[in-house]
Amino acid sequence: MTTATAHHDDHGHHGPAKGIMRWVLTTNHKDIGTMYLWFAFTMLFIGGAMALIIRTELFQPGMQLIEPEFFNQMTTMHGLIMVFGAIMPAFVGLANWMVPLMVGAPDMALPRMNNWSFWILPFAFGMLLFTLFTEAGAPNFGWTFYAPLSTTYAPSSVTFFIFGVHMMGISSIMGAINIIATILNLRAPGMTLMKMPLFVWTWLITAYLLIAVMPVLAGVVTMMLMDIHFGTSFFDAAGGGDPVLFQHVFWFFGHPEVYIMILPAFGIVSQIIPTFARKPLFGYASMVYATSSIAFLSFIVWAHHMFTVGLPLQTELFFMYATMLIAIPTGVKVFNWVSTMFRGSMTFETPMLFALAFVVLFTIGGFSGLMLAIAPADFQYHDTYFVVAHFHYVLVPGALFGIIAGVYYWLPKWTGHYYDEKLGKFHFWMSFIGVNVTFFPMHFIGLAGMPRRIPDYALQFADFNAIASVGAFIFGFSQLIFLYLLIKTIRGGEKATDEVWEGAEGLEWTIPSPAPYHTFAEAPEVK
């Protein structure tokens, strides 16, 4: 079998094929990981450009740049692209690169399915972005696409939106299947589950979440498709349906989805902090149990997105209590990270800076989340910028900083070069400042009463909106530093050792830098 495969991939060479067909046909987890990461980075800039359009319009009261109709398309597309096009594929890319290396496997369990999983995405997003240039315009009903705004009252692009979501969903499901199959079946002998790196654990759990809820998303958009084109009335009261049913089904997907977007970041940070503190992760078992608890709990809290919908009292109380409970395992993780640092011997290279910022800023996002969980108070927070502040804190200095930290951490392994540390630190500080200047004021304008998804606002919200817009430009343009740094590091730089970082533990640091095209053809020994 090995001989046959060698003929098939390499035509006798040890390296990859040449030219563009290499990328189209590759089944190599490193190549596919790289494609996912570049795709995600591109989508980050596209979604980011939309954010800058939004923030430019919101810089001052009044409509200066765009019409309200286009503004609604921007907010919708920004959300869809960042969630499904940037954050999720970036994590999948990191999983593709690192999971086989971390478990000592030669590749993912299903390499050809892996190729399809990736290539679906450019098509899905091509279709979605194309709607921006049609006469009807792009989807304009928010990334949460509530019915009947997204069914009876939707522009014709909604059908492309539905197909795009189906494609992204299939990609995610296939990716998740691959990850689980790899982790459960391809671990090197001696690597028991409780010896796996935390990044592998968090991805294992995330993959199960994906399999559980992406099909439900597929279900809800199929129901939409049927309501719009086939005369059903899942969400239309006229035919016996219910708009609130939409929200229940959507958020049954939607809440686990946000944990899908953060759990891998927890894993990354749990690898980075021990390395740069030169100290083992505190409470490994506890971290595994906490992550699992968060995953289980994520299934029973969905209606905290619906506190103002008119839920019965007992239902509202149940969801409030369940949501508050999630704070406990999340807090446990934060305490464990801090305990890892404590009495360590820390250095502050760029990955560590992003990881430390993650711990602080994600926790702040968690605090606003706890405030939102309190149902009576949520009546004043719901659908305001307080919510926007909360989820941007957990997603940007949360998930995105986790991804960036991982990229800096593993970049020398991927490219064989250390990146320019000074430039990395500069990127960090600009991002850190940018992210806080953008999103911290949003807590205030939300509390002061500014609703979400409005293109223009009353005068008392003006000053903080102006500050947020300035911050957005700082943050956005700082990512160009990252782009420059990535290209520079790929092309050259100080040669990286196998171990790369003093204090790094794990199978990925036992292979050369850059990582050879094929690794662990022979399973390594794990003690």
Partner 1 sequence: MFSRTWQRLSSVVLSLVSAPAAMADWELNMPQGVTEVSQSIYDLHMLIFWICVWIGVVVFGVMFYSIFTHRKSKGAKASQFHESVGLELLWTAVPTAILIAMAVPATTTLVEMYDTTDTDIDIKITGHQWKWQYDYLGEDVGFFSNLTTSQDEIYDRTAKGENYLLEVDKHVVVPTGKKIRFLITSNDVIHAWWVPEIAVKKDAIPGYINESWAIVPEGQEGLYRGQCAELCGVDHGFMPIVLEAVTPAEYEVWLVDQRAAAEAEAAAALGDFSHEELMTKGAEVYARSCAACHGVEGAGMGNVFPALVGSPIATGDMAAHIDIVINGKSGTAMQAFAAQLSEVDLAAVITYERNAWGNDTGDTVTPKMIIDAKQ
Partner 2 sequence: MTDSPKTSFKAGKTALKLVLAAVAMFGFGFALVPLYDVFCEFTGINGKITGPVERVEQWVDTTRTIKVQFITTNNAGMPWEFEALQEEIEVHPGAWTQVEFWALNPTQKDMVGQAVPSVSPSEATEYVQKTECFCFSQQTLAAGEGRKMPLIFALDSKLPPHIRTVTMSYTIFDAGAFAEK
Written as one string, the DSSP assignment of 470-522 is HHHHHHHHHHHHHHHHHHHHHH--SBP-SS-STT--SGGGSS-SSPPSS--SS
Task: Give yes or no for a contact between 59 and 469, defined as CB atoms under 8 angstroms apart.
Answer: yes
Clarify whether 382 is annotated catalytic: no
Answer yes or no whether residue 285 interacts with partner 1 by CB under 8 A: yes
Residue 376 lies near partner 1 (rule: CB under 8 A): yes
Spell out the residues 6+ positions from residue 115 whose beta carbon is closer than 8 angstroms to its own.
25, 26, 27, 32
Quick one: 329 or 424, whose CB is closer to partner 1?
329
From partner 2, partner 1, none, interface partner of 146 (C-beta below 5 to 8 A by class): partner 1
> By rule CB under 8 A, what string of x and - marks binding of each residue 383-412 to partner 1?
xx----------------------------
Q: Which of residues 125-144 bind partner 1 (CB under 8 A)?
A: 135-137, 140-142
Angle among Cα 251, 160, 236 to the nearest 5 degrees reads 50
Whose tokens are 């971390």? That residue is 102
Catalytic (active site) residue 11: no
- Interface segment toward partner 1; rule CB under 8 A; list 1-9, 16-24, 55-63, 401-409: 55-63
Sequence-ordered list of residues with C-beta below 8 angstroms from that of 287, at least 6 positions apart, any chain:
198, 201, 270, 281, 332, 333, 336
Judged by CB under 8 A, the residue of 113, 132, 325, 490 near partner 1 is: 325
305 counts as catalytic: yes
DSSP classification of residue 16: P
Cα 313 off chain centre by: 33
Given a contact cutoff of 8 angstroms between Cβ atoms, the answer to whether 247 and 306 are in contact is yes
Which of 289, 460, 307 shows the shortest CA–CA distance to 377? 307
Q: Out of 270, 415, 431, 478, pick the active-site residue.
A: 270
Considering Cα of 497, then 498, then 500, then 501, what sign does the dihedral take? negative
For partner 1 (CB under 8 A), the number of binding residues is: 100
Query: What is the enclosing helix (H) or strand (E) of 345?
Result: none
Residue from 255, 279, 390, 518 carrying the catalytic annotation: 255
Both tokens assigned to 316: 């509202």
Shortest Å distance, C-beta 185 to partner 2: 4
Where does this chain bind partner 2 (CB under 8 A)? 1, 5, 9, 27, 106-107, 109-111, 113, 173, 176-178, 180-182, 184-186, 211-220, 222-223, 231, 233-234, 237-239, 242, 244-245, 248-249, 252-253, 310-312, 315, 518, 523
Residues between 441 and 480 with contacts to partner 1, criterion CB under 8 A: 444-445, 447-449, 451-464, 466-467
Is 172 marked active-site?
yes
195 included as an active-site residue: no
Whether 330 sits among the annotated catalytic residues: the reply is yes
**344 near partner 1, judged by CB under 8 A:** yes
The set of catalytic residues is 78, 107, 143, 171-172, 255, 257, 259, 270, 304-305, 330, 333, 452
